[in-house]
Amino acid sequence: MNRKSLSIHPLHLGSLASFDKSIFTLLRNQGTKVDFPCIGWLISGGEKAILVDTGPCDPDWASKYYRPVKKTASQDIQKALNKFGLSPKDIEIVIFTHLHWDHCFNLDHFSKATFMVQRSEMGYAVSPLPTDKKPYSVGIPGVQPPWMKVFGNIKLIDGDHEIVPGIRVLHLPGHTPGCQGVVVDTLDGPWVIAGDNIPHCLRG
């Protein structure tokens, strides 16, 4: 496999509704509400089909336990992958940038995947500070963290690590203690999927 043949395809898997714009613009634009897209990333062209993040839960579950989510039928994870001739069962590796709920739902569909997460992220997700419990689905009556469904197929990573030739992860703590970026070598050079470590430039 020529690693330079790798391609990255963004998958819009829904939006977190009505976020305050100031969260992304250094405290400017207070009171202005925007929808925040939830993006998964399909990496194709290699020997294995790889997905980075799997998106949020359905809108009803989100409204009940987290915050409002907007999702169209085409933003269902299965339909998003179908556009590229794939189904969730074709995905062999899922890389989580981190374990916040809006990045790691829909796991029932990935029956053949190994799930990659930083060891430091898993350690914090199990017992986060009180202010971080909800993003990690901890302490919510009737709710377990979504990644628990695939616990036996999770592979823990310590720091920077090559996943397959041409694809490696970098430990990028900041947004969360174990947040990781994914570096993909493409024809256009290396690109980094940085997850939520890169704020949105929503100025104006």
How far apart are alpha carbons 103 and 179 in whole angstroms? 11
Kindly state whether residue 65 falls inside one of the protein's structural domains.
Answer: yes
Kindly state whether residue 99 falls inside one of the protein's structural domains.
Answer: yes
Kindly state whether residue 190 falls inside one of the protein's structural domains.
Answer: yes
Kindly state whether residue 81 falls inside one of the protein's structural domains.
Answer: yes
Kindly state whether residue 202 falls inside one of the protein's structural domains.
Answer: no
**What is residue 28's predicted lDDT score, i.e. its pLDDT?**
84
Number of domains in the chain: 1
Say if residues 42 and 75 touch (Cβ distance below 8 Å): no
7-66, pLDDT tens digit by residue?
Answer: 999 999 999 999 888 877 777 889 999 999 999 999 999 999 999 999 999 999 999 999
Kindly state whether residue 38 falls inside one of the protein's structural domains.
Answer: yes
Q: Look up the domain containing 168 and give its range.
A: 3-197
Phi, psi of 62 (to 5 degrees): -65, -45
Kindly state whether residue 204 falls inside one of the protein's structural domains.
Answer: no
Kindly state whether residue 142 falls inside one of the protein's structural domains.
Answer: yes
Instruction: Return the exposure string of 117-148: e unless at least 16 CB atoms fall within 10 Å of the residue's CB, then b.
Output: bbebbbebbeebeeeeebbbbbeeeebebbbe
**Sign of the alpha-carbon torsion through 9, 117, 98, 145:** positive
Overall pTM surpassing 0.85 (yes/no): yes
Domain harbouring 17, CATH code:
3.60.15.10
**What is residue 84's predicted lDDT score, i.e. its pLDDT?**
97
How far apart are alpha carbons 23 and 26 in whole angstroms? 6
Say if residues 35 and 18 touch (Cβ distance below 8 Å): yes
Of all residues in the chain, the percent with pLDDT exceeding 70 is 95
